Structure 1
Amino acid sequence: MSFLSGFKIRAALLKHQKGDNEGALSAYKALYDSGIIRSTYILPYSVLLLREGGEENYERVKQILIKAQKASDLNPQRKQQLFINYSVACWKTGEKDRAIQLMEASHRELPSGLTYNTLGFLYVEAGDAEKALPFNLEALEYDDTDPITLDNLAQTYYRLLNDKETAKQYFDKAHEIKPEQIDTLYFLAQYDLDNNDKEAALEKLTKAAEGRFSPLNFITRERIQSEIDQLKAGE
């Protein structure tokens, strides 16, 4: 890789780090279109595209990550992140079985917090209680302080097993560790509504709406805002 290419990559990454997502996306696209294939920038490029959302961006993610498999700087950790991002793009484009199969293969090869988080969530989203519960319990043994793991397990009990009492314990612990976690705030707000505490629910939903959403959030900003509007209209 030339000095100029390295400089361009560093400049693009700096834009991303400073929160200039639009500038970073433009710089990443220019790098890719010029034929520079390095996982150093393609992985964060794929993350931005996933966060932007939309069918075109999800297909673009799959395209660039296929190319990134041949990158000379692709180490085992980056390879795992590549498979995770590719799996998420597959999930978002309706290839749900393929997404889960890829994540299962990645997890077998190199189990990590990332694979536990992602695959655990996909099992819940797929409505597969038989896989979701044992896997997310195993994830809890792997790291019982990971807020995403705790939320995944809580959602397993809440959404798949209709055991809200057990779910609440894990939502509470996840919230204690990461108070701004979007899905956790949303579900805890539902408990507040069950208890007719609209003020507490509104506070949590408002905080959740201010968060940075990802493709692996159960809830969307639009749905949260809709619930906020309904609560305010009923005041």
Structure 2
Amino acid sequence: MSFMGNMIGNKALAAHGKNEYEKAMQLYDEAYEKGMDKPRLLRGYSVLLIRTGHFDKALEVLKKIEALPGLTPAEKTDLHVNYAIILWQKGHLDRAMEILEDEFRHLKNGTMYSIIGYLKIEQGDAEAALAFNKEALDYDDTDPVYLDNMGQTYYRLVGDKETAKTFFDKAIALKPSAIDTNYFLSLYDIEAGDTEKAIERLKTARGGFFSPLNYATPEMIDARLAELGAK
């Protein structure tokens, strides 16, 4: 056990919890170099690495977690979920889904519903995505991520923008800062000729902290803002 590494890791985790992501990453990097070896600290590091697109480093950290003795079932599940996200980002979506659906058979929780629900959309099977995201909403019909996933399913796969909007509207009421929900609702504003509202939504989305599980990217949003002449 590395006392110094874990002490710095605790500071990193605290900064992470306050959404001070740049500070957290600097501290995690330092802690890792000094031998940080507590699963919860390494997990925090791996999550931030994944969210910032450092997939090879994240995989290295996950392998270090996997080698630790005494991991709980929950820690093992979390490890597999993060590994699956990396696989997807490296172009192995079907394999990632196999891992996630195997875990889902043993553990149905909010995180699993949100991740699998989104990746079902990425797989492109409208029927499967609708069925799964309906199940997620049966599990919790007030979760903004599930509502957004269903909205994206109707918008991207079914082509039913009217129905999609009902889900986006419910999602944004619950989470006004949601990146993807703001992005999609801005497209409706553009169609309606409400440029000012569209720009407002896009700027809100742009101010968020992106992850691989966002459909909208900073580049996509910047392009839309440029098209609208936003300053």
**TM-score (normalised: structure 2):** 0.91
Shift of 1:137: 0.3
Q: Which amino acid aligns with 2:165?
A: K
Find the counterpart in structure 2 of residue 201 from structure 1: 198
Change beyond 3 A, Cα 1:192–1:105: same
Give the counterpart letter for 1:21 in structure 2.
Y
Given the superposition, is the C-alpha separation of residues 110 and 189 from structure 1 closer, same or farther in structure 2, using an over 3 Å criterion? Answer: same
2:47 is equivalent to residue 50 of structure 1: no
Residue 6 to residue 120, structure 1, CA distance change in 2 (3 Å): same
CA contact (8 A) 2:2 2:35 kept: no
Q: Does 1:66 align with 2:63?
A: yes
Name the counterpart of 1:166: 163
Alpha-carbon separation, structure 2, partners of 1:11 and 1:154:
38
Q: Are residue 150 (structure 1) and residue 147 (structure 2) matched? A: yes
Q: How does 1:40-189 map to 2 (within 5 A)?
A: 40-53=40-53, 57-72=54-69, 74-189=71-186
Shift in CA distance, 33/145, structure 1 to aligned 2, threshold 3 Å: same
* RMSD (CA atoms): 2.1
Matched residues in 1 for 2:76 and 2:5: separation?
22
- One-letter amino acid of the structure 2 residue matched with residue 215 of structure 1: P
Task: Give the number of aligned pairs.
Answer: 231
- Give, as a single letter, the amino acid of the residue that structure 1 aligns with 2:123: A
Q: CA deviation at 1:48?
A: 1.3
1-structure distance, mates of 2:59, 2:193: 45
AA partner of residue 43 (structure 1): R
Identity, % of aligned positions = 45
Structure 1 counterpart of 2:45, one-letter code = Y
Residue in structure 1 matched with residue 28 of structure 2 by the alignment? 28
Q: Give, in whole Å, the separation in 1 of the partners of 2:5 and 2:202.
A: 44
**SS where residue 121 of structure 1 aligns?**
helix
Separation in 2 of the partners of 1:112 and 1:18? Answer: 24
Letter paired with 2:41 = Y
Letter in 2 for 1:9: G
Larger displacement relative to structure 2 (84-93 or 4-13): 4-13
Q: Is the 8 A contact 2:148 2:171 kept in 1?
A: yes
SS at match of 1:232: coil
Measure, in 2, the Cα distance between the counterparts of 1:100 and 1:189: 30
Distance, in Å, in 1 between the alignment partners of 2:182 and 2:18 is 27
Aligned to 1:13: 13
Q: Does 1:39 align with 2:39?
A: yes
2:65 alignment partner AA: A
> Is 1:183–1:218's contact at 8 Å kept on the other side of the alignment?
yes
Name which of structure 1's ranges 61-70 and 43-52 shifts more when overlaid on structure 2: 61-70
Give me the whole-angstrom Cα distance separating, in 1, the residues matched to 2:8 and 2:206.
Answer: 35
Change in 2 beyond 3 A, CA 1:98/1:231: same
User: How far is the alpha carbon of 1:228 from its aligned partner?
Assistant: 0.7
Say if 1:83 and 1:102, in contact at 8 Å, map to a contact too. yes
Task: Please state how far the C-alpha of 1:212 moved relative to its aligned partner.
Answer: 1.4
Question: For residues 100 and 223 of structure 1, do their structure 2 counterparts lie closer, same or farther at Cα, with a shift above 3 Å needed?
Answer: same
User: Structure 1: which 5+ residue stretches go unaligned?
Assistant: none
Q: Which stretch of structure 1 is more off in the superposition, 4-13 or 64-73?
A: 4-13
CA contact (8 A) 2:151 2:164 kept: yes
Paired with 2:108 and 2:188, the residues of 1 have a C-alpha distance of 33
Kindly indicate whether the alpha-carbon contact (under 8 Å) linking 1:90 and 1:99 is maintained by their aligned counterparts in 2. yes
Runs of 4+ deviating beyond 6 Å: none
Equivalent position of 2:226 in the other structure: 229
The Cα shift of 1:226 comes to 1.1
Q: Pick which of 198-207 and 116-125 moved more.
A: 198-207
